[in-house]
């Protein structure tokens, strides 16, 4: 008979401890929360999917309600890129948006730095006045600007669109940058001044690099707002020479007088939306950081 080994107390002490089942640190997300999140995502993305679906349809397929295009084709995209007016409007939108963004950051950074650092009377009133401009309806100034621009000779020009766009973009840039400049310690600027730097040098080499996330946020939001602007664009232009792309899409024509070119309109809408979507996806962290700067202090 084989000998039976009885474990001793010493053997039990040396036995490796059994692995305990690890539990997650946080509470488990309920299943209905995932359903709610998925429903919200589908609700938000469905309009863009329907836009893409329509852009891939032609002819009789445009009147069908099928979620998936029966005969998908890129004919609408080929058509808009063969349209010289659409290509010109893309160039106009790029020039207007980039110029407005650059001027808003340049002027806004100086204004925001003064409001964040300098002490003077009426500073809060000035900031409130700047913010009130963002709530002003553009439709209220469209007709006066049309008359004024016609009288001074800048109607239907790029500069005639840059000026009013800058008027609405500058307050937003100032508001975002003020929050960032307030978060930068003054000791860094004072150290640069002690080392012999001027106030402008300290601002350019110390403050601006540290406020780069705020500048990126203000620039992205300004570019998006200017790129999508429609009311002033269609009011202050009369020809494709200076017409930006949102207004140019409104002038698309079909093969007959009463035909609405849904295919080319949706294809153009998708084309001008893709750069903005990629811009937001790549810089979403900076945008959130810029909008929440100064909101929590500890």
Domain holding 98: CATH number? Answer: 1.10.3720.10
Average pLDDT over residues 163-186: 88
> How many CB atoms are closer than 10 A to CB 273?
15
Instruction: Check whether residue 66 and residue 87 sit in a common domain.
Output: no
User: Does residue 16 sit within a domain?
Assistant: no
H/E segment holding residue 3: none
Residues 134, 276 within the same domain: yes
Give residue-wise pLDDT tens across range 219-275. 988 999 999 999 999 999 988 889 999 999 988 876 555 667 888 899 999 999 988
Q: Which residues contact 121 (CB under 8 A, 6 or more apart)?
A: none
Cβ–Cβ under 8 Å, residues 92 and 244 = yes
Could you tell me if 152 and 231 lie in one domain? yes
Last residue of a domain, one of 43, 73, 103: 73
Alpha-carbon span 116 to 118, nearest angstrom:
6
Q: Look at 200 and 21; give whichever has higher pLDDT.
A: 200
Question: What value does the mean pLDDT take over residues 269-284?
Answer: 86
**Token representation of residue 12:** 């039990």
31 compared with 5, residue with greater pLDDT? 31
* pLDDT tier, 24 (very low <50, low <70, confident <90, very high otherwise): low
Same domain (yes/no): 119, 265: yes
**Cα gap 134→101, rounded to integer Å:** 16
* C-alpha span between 163 and 138 (Å, rounded): 13
Domain interval for residue 53: 29-73
- Domain co-membership, 51 together with 124: no
User: What's the predicted TM-score (pTM) here?
Assistant: 0.81
Domains contained in the chain, number: 2
Mean per-residue pLDDT over the chain, rounded: 83
Domain annotation covers residue 23? no
pLDDT in tens, 58-96: 878 777 778 888 888 888 899 899 889 999 999 999 999
Residue 22 — very low, low, confident or very high, per pLDDT cuts 50/70/90? low
């Amino acid at each position: 008979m084989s000998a039976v080994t009885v474990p001793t107390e010493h053997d039990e002490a040396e036995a490796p401890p059994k692995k305990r089942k690890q539990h997650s640190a946080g509470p488990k997300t309920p299943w209905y929360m995932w359903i709610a999140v998925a429903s919200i995502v589908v609700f938000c993305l469905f309009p863009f999917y329907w836009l893409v679906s329509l852009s891939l349809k032609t002819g009789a397929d445009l009147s069908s309600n099928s979620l998936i295009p029966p005969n998908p084709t890129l004919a609408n995209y080929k058509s808009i890129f063969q349209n010289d007016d659409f290509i010109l409007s893309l160039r106009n939108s790029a020039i207007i948006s980039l110029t407005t963004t650059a001027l808003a950051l340049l002027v806004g950074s100086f204004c925001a730095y003064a409001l964040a650092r300098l002490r003077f009377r009426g500073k809060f009133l000035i900031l409130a006045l700047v913010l009130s401009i963002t709530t002003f309806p553009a439709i209220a100034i469209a007709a006066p600007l049309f008359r004024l621009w016609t009288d001074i000779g800048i109607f239907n020009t790029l500069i005639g669109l840059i000026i009013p766009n800058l008027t609405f973009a500058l307050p937003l840039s100032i508001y975002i940058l003020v929050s960032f400049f307030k978060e930068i310690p003054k000791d860094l600027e004072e150290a640069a001044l002690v080392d012999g730097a001027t106030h402008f040098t300290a601002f350019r080499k110390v403050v601006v690099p540290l406020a780069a996330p705020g500048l990126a946020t203000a620039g992205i939001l300004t570019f998006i707002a200017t790129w999508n602007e429609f009311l002033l664009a269609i009011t202050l232009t009369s020809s494709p020479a200076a017409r930006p792309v949102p207004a140019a899409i409104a002038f698309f024509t079909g093969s007959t007088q009463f035909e609405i070119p849904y295919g080319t309109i949706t294809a153009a809408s998708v084309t001008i939306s893709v750069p903005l979507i990629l811009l937001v996806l790549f810089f979403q962290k900076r945008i959130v950081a810029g909008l929440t700067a100064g909101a929590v202090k500890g």
